[in-house]
Amino acid sequence: MKASTLSSVTNALRILRLFSQKQKELSFTDIAQLSDLPKSSTHRTISTLVKEGFLSRNPRTNHYRLGLAILSLGGVIFSHHVLYKEALPIVKKLSEALDESAHICLMENMEVVYLFRVEGRHPDRLLTQIGRKNPIHCTSEGLCILAFQDESTITQLLQSELYPYTPYTLTHRNELLSLIADIQNNDYCLLENTYYENYTSIAAPIRDYTGKVVSSLSVIGHSSRMTGKKQEIFIEKIKDAAGKISEYLGHYS
């Protein structure tokens, strides 16, 4: 490895290590002073880290914070990182307000992965433990992420073998394309009985600083508790909470 390349990597790591649970955002001046790097090197390194997604910039303060690409360094479950941990109180508040289990989910290798779970007081025991992977095509939390990915990713899922987990699981291409279009237009997904019979799931997309959908916020509960006008309340609160989490990731609508 060339000395210049090694120096650039060292500078980048030095800057990334400045961020912590207590120090979530830093200005350019803060970074230059704390890293003890020349301003020219600091500016060049920060620009590269922002471009690659390892840092994001808060347009309200012009300060920098860790970006979502940090998650790729250690696999999807490494995202217990501060990026999502600081959003956990929002998930807890949502779970308490709706009295249902709430989750933050990511997509990896054409499956949805449950990153965080806050349980409601109801004794439902669904297969949504932290780290568990579930299919995308029959889960609102998975489809809510998939709907905003590139066309090739969507096509890849639609061309795969889609297992009908219940009589209500959508497995036909046109049905799923129609649902994906609805999700794109409405910014949420609601599914009933598609993975578990008698259970409803509602999810909203979470966006990062680039505006890309990188995860989803979902609430899953027995359908008897999520009917009629209650669904409208759930949708509104889930979308609002997902928007707040997106702000933590640097997305400001």
Q: For 51-94, write each residue's pLDDT tens digit.
A: 877 888 877 788 988 776 665 554 444 444 555 677 888 999 99
Q: At what angle do helices 3-16 and 39-51 cross, to 10 degrees?
A: 80
More confident residue, 148 or 25: 148
pLDDT tens digit sequence for 90-102 = 999 999 999 998 9
pLDDT tens digit sequence for 226-239 = 988 899 999 999 99
Q: CATH number of the domain at 76-248, please?
A: 3.30.450.40
| Domain extents in the chain | 3-66, 76-248
Distance, CA of 72 to CA of 165 (rounded, Å): 31
Sequence-distant (6+) residues with CB within 8 A of 186 are none
Q: CATH number of the domain at 3-66, please?
A: 1.10.10.10
| Integer CA distances (angstroms), 19 to 5, 170, 224, in order | 23, 44, 45
Answer yes or no: same fold for 3-66 and 76-248: no
**Mean pLDDT (the chain, rounded):** 85
